[in-house]
Amino acid sequence: MLDFSFFPCQTIAMNMETMSDKAILGELGSRLQRERLNRNMTQAELALKAGVSLRSLQYLETGRACTLASLIKIIRALGNLAALDAFFPEPGMSPVQLARLKGRERQRASSPVGKRGKKG
């Protein structure tokens, strides 16, 4: 069973508005490091299992920027990929959109009012 406390949405959501980007990266890095240590893995072992460089993992754990692809690989190697769904769930349609579509699937975004091209 996966441990969804890896990304405790309520905790990070409450602080997200007041945290800087650097602070959020630091928090995510600390959580990844704790998860790695809880699994008794060295940085080298996790980097190898994830298919990322040791330097990328070290940067991430110390709160420095990394690519989204590297982050996903590391989370997958830790067995917590399903936590991303809880972290960033699939957005649903608004009731207004559902009523307009009447069962059809939306294909494109609409233009803002006043920006639509006029046929002459």
Weakly modelled stretches of the chain, pLDDT under 70: 1-15, 103-107, 113-120
Task: Domains for the chain: give ranges and CATH numbers.
Answer: 4-96 (1.10.260.40)
Q: Which two tokens stand for residue 71?
A: 């982050």
Give me the pLDDT at residue 8, please.
47
Burial call 43-57: b when 16+ CB within 10 Å, e when fewer: beebbeebebeeebb
* Residue 65 burial (CB count, 10 A): 10
Q: Which residue has the tokens 């040791």?
A: 54
Give me the pLDDT at residue 12, please.
47
Query: Measured between alpha carbons, how far is 100 from 31 in angstroms, rounded to an integer?
Result: 43
Give me the pLDDT at residue 2, please.
41
Which residues make Cβ contacts (< 8 Å) with residue 117, sequence separation at least 6?
A: 111
State pLDDT tens for residues 26-49.
989 999 999 999 999 999 999 999
Give me the pLDDT at residue 88, please.
78
* Residue 64 burial (CB count, 10 A): 14
Give me the pLDDT at residue 115, please.
60
Q: Is 119 helix (H, G, I), strand (E, B) or coil?
A: coil
